[in-house]
Amino acid sequence: MGYTNQRIAYGNTLVELGKENKDIVVLDADLGGSTMGKLFEQAYPERHFEVGIAEANMLSIAAGLAVTGKIPFANSFAVFASGRAFDQIRQTIAIGKLNVKVVGSSAGLSDFGDGATHQSVEDMAIMRAIPNLVVISPADANETVEATKAIAEYHGPVYMRLNRNDYDNVTPEGKPFKIGEPTVLKEGSDEVVFATGYTVGLALEAAKALENEISVKVVNVSTIKPINEARIVELAKDCKGVVTAEEHSVIGGLGSAVAEALYKSGKPIEFVGIKDTFGRSALNYQELLDYYGITSDNIVNAVRKINSL
């Protein structure tokens, strides 16, 4: 325990789960060293399947394993898991509600060096549009441990996106994960920031920076689907307005899900995210996040903008 990287937290948790649950199997498409599927491969080689550089094949094989009662975790980069294998996830896994867990790592901009081809700005939007699929985006490594346990326990198809890089935890260690439940990390009364993944930490920083100015509630939304509309409405009820933050396009991800939940409320909403554009290469993660405006400063600005209305 005590991980500061979502991939490592995920890989080790799978190994732990696999010890008790012999139905868990893991598939990788030549990225096991990065997705951390390699940890499961080292522990239980007979239950790990390397399918080569063939993501579509991997997801259909996972479907076949699921109908024989296995619990397959299929790993790739988020961009390939949600893109190359879209049809396989849709046709057999989602329509059939099969017990397959699709885990996309290096999500968002977190694979900073590899550029637009490897950065998933739209994976949550794509996966969220598929009926029957649960979409999970943990805030940090601590939450990844618990989310991995929760999705293994849940019977049905799940997509989970993970960050590539190390960063500090913002959620407590060992807190059981409940699918569909947003969690309040900081209370506040003027405005609410709904954030997911890496941006949860940024939202907390923004709330702290504003503490003598505007009282900001910070909510970690780690289940993107089902979004729990009633709870989102309740959390926003007494606030003047809402800010959403995500390391993803502002189209179709958390911002859209929150807006759909709140459309009847008439509350002002500001969206912090990637503005309908692809990523690009950078030499480090921070530089790229700054370039696309995924920063606590931008969340502060969005909160102030609503406050000034």
Is 55 tagged catalytic? yes
What's the closest the beta carbon of residue 66 comes to other proteins, in angstroms? 7
Q: Which is nearer to other proteins, 65 or 294 (CB)?
A: 65
Q: Which is nearer to other proteins, 64 or 172 (CB)?
A: 64
What's the closest the beta carbon of residue 97 comes to other proteins, in angstroms? 6
What's the closest the beta carbon of residue 166 comes to other proteins, in angstroms? 34
What's the closest the beta carbon of residue 88 comes to other proteins, in angstroms? 6
> Which is catalytic among the residues 16, 46, 55, 122?
55
Q: Which is nearer to other proteins, 98 or 150 (CB)?
A: 98
**What are the residues binding other proteins (CB under 8 A)?**
25, 46-47, 49, 51-52, 54, 56-57, 60-70, 72, 87-88, 91-92, 95-98
3-state SS, one letter per residue, for the chain: CCCCEHHHHHHHHHHHHHHHCCCEEEEECCCHHHHCHHHHHHHCHHHEEECCCCHHHHHHHHHHHHHCCCEEEEEEEHHHHHHCCHHHHHHHHHCCCCCCEEEEECCECCCCCCCCCCCECCHHHHHHCCCCCEEECCCCHHHHHHHHHHHHHCCCCEEEECCCCECCCCCCCCCCCCCCCCEEEECCCCEEEEECCCHHHHHHHHHHHCCCCCCEEEEECCEEECCCHHHHHHHHCCCCEEEEEEEEECCCCHHHHHHHHHCCCCCCEEEEEECCCCCCCCCCHHHHHHHCCCCHHHHHHHHHHHHCC
Q: Which is nearer to other proteins, 37 or 273 (CB)?
A: 37
Report the catalytic residues.
55
